Amino acid sequence: MPKTDRPRNLNIDKRPNRYLAVHGGYWRVSMAVPKELQAELGTRLIRGLNTKSVAIARMKRGPVVEEFKAKIEAAWAARGGRKRSVLAEAVEVRKLMSSADRNMADFLQQGVDERVQEILEAGGVTWVEVLDEDFGGPSQHPVYTPEAIEEARTFRSVAAGSATPIALHHAEFMASLTIKDRSKLDEPRALSLLLDWMRANEIYPFIENVTPQVARQFERYLQSSTELAWASKAKYLGRLKVYWAWLKKQEFAKENPFYDLTVKKQVAEAEAEEERPYTDTEVQRLFMGEPLEGRAMLDVMAVAALTGARLDAVICLKVGETDEGLFRFKKQKKEKHDRDVPIHPDLYEIVNRRAEGKGPDNDLFPEWPKAKPPSVKPRSSYFSKRFTFYSKKIGVRDEVENKRRSLVNFHSFRRWFITKLEHEGVNGDLIAAIVGHKRGGLTLDRYSSGPKLQAALEAISKVKLPPLDGTPVVETRGLKPMRRKP
């Protein structure tokens, strides 16, 4: 075949910038994660190098690459090893052992002994002469490498069932969960956090190695040594607690070492500022700004602001879920049912424009599609990132030191809507019914079909966006004090 002018493959091992990529003008290390491990580690491992110089990036790359490779190997070990690895072989032998009769078990044990010897010899052997009094003279004895001894010991322990890779049963555990896909993302994150800590402390990732003492050490590390917010620390510890409870129930673990562990809330963190509603001035600036996505973003913002619905519920609306002057929002978080919310009169133009010429199963906001598999991120994930970029660009933020999220964010539209309803004198139970919160008392919450739609429409219609022509806004104040920005 004649030669072509096809570009060279830049991803070969010899390229000088292997594992390096530029983002925002700065170099960073970027390493692909094997498909089998992406649930735990994500699609890529990325670490910024804080330099615009490629020469400096090349010098700083080495330790990060080694750390990433060790992280990937630890993840493989936790799952039971790479395909055709010694560890994966031991897991297969273990499965055969568990269902073998006595004769077959004896045969398999003989195979294990032979395989252990092969592993020891494959690592390299040195013969030394040792005086053996029983034989009346010197004899040759093999000396194996420490690495081979450790690998052989691991093979024997896993094959015998006395050592279990931590993530060996994690896929089965995940399949048993009935929580939303978005919440399931916390499971591998929690496990990855534990595995990183175990790797740093040279604790092999076996279930049997996570004793109550080890679990307490991890809890202390989580408490004092990570930059996570308290809520995230408590969440991840809770997810590990649930996983080990399942392992114990399935008899894969003898105990739940996380059972009585909790992450205490620091005094300073307990007294930290809470996230708050937007002010009318902030709402005005958000709607008068010019997001790159134009109406695609502004329309979502308008529906959220004038219904109090959560972002994912808005983004996922179908055209057929806007019939009869009602939004049919899918249940969110702890809600037990879908709910109908009257469409605010100021939203008719948006709904009619977006529904025109479309079928009932078409998306109302097709500009914000769902992430492609294998990602299980919520459909609203990309919008959320773009909205954060937009709000930073126009300065509608309320940042607090050592707090990951701004005190105002997209969810502040929901808080703003609820605040406006209360300021208009709307009954608290009616507000709760409109926004999907639990209403007061068993009678209303379980036995009633809800308030009249007309009452809800009248209440919602009282909420108005601030003037969008630049007219100065006169803020209405609630009884709850607002933080004074520095």
List pLDDT tens digits, range 239-258.
999 999 999 999 999 999 99
Lowest mean pLDDT among 22-36, 263-277, 389-403: 263-277
Burial of 23 (0-12, 13-18, 19+ CB in 10 A): exposed
pLDDT-derived band at 80 (thresholds 50, 70, 90) equals confident
Q: Look at residue 195 and tell me whether its pLDDT is greater than 80.
A: yes
Q: Same topology for domains 170-270 and 280-461, yes or no?
A: no
Average pLDDT over residues 315-338: 85
Domain residue spans in the chain? 22-79, 86-128+139-160, 170-270, 280-461
Best mean pLDDT range from 158-162, 221-225, 422-426: 422-426
Summarize pLDDT for 84-109 with one digit per residue, the tens.
888 888 888 888 988 888 888 889 88
The pLDDT, as a whole number, for residue 447 is 46
CATH 1.10.443.10 fits 280-461, yes or no: yes
Q: Look at residue 35 and tell me whether its pLDDT is greater than 90.
A: no
Instruction: Look up residue 406 and give its two tokens.
Output: 């701004």
Higher-pLDDT residue of 266 and 187 is 187
Average pLDDT over residues 27-31: 94
Query: d(Cα 342, Cα 322) in Å, to the nearest integer?
Result: 9
The answer to whether 480 touches 422, Cβ cutoff 8 Å, is: no
- DSSP H or E segment with residue 55: helix 54-79
Q: Look at residue 426 and tell me whether its pLDDT is greater than 80.
A: yes
Query: d(Cα 413, Cα 396) in Å, to the nearest integer?
Result: 12
The pLDDT, as a whole number, for residue 444 is 47
φ/ψ (deg, to 5) at 143: -125, 120
Closest CA to 414 of 392, 436, 398: 436
Q: Look up the CATH number of domain 170-270.
A: 1.10.150
The pLDDT, as a whole number, for residue 85 is 85
The answer to whether 399 touches 406, Cβ cutoff 8 Å, is: yes
DSSP assignment of 425-464, as one string?
T--HHHHHHHHTPPPSSHIIIII---S-HHHHHHHHHT--
The pLDDT, as a whole number, for residue 91 is 87
- DSSP H or E segment with residue 141: strand 137-144
The answer to whether 207 touches 252, Cβ cutoff 8 Å, is: yes
Angle between helices 186-200 and 212-224 in degrees, nearest 10? 100
Higher-pLDDT residue of 179 and 267 is 179
The pLDDT, as a whole number, for residue 11 is 47
Q: Distances in Å between the alpha carbon of 133 and those of 54, 142, 143, 327? A: 65, 18, 19, 91
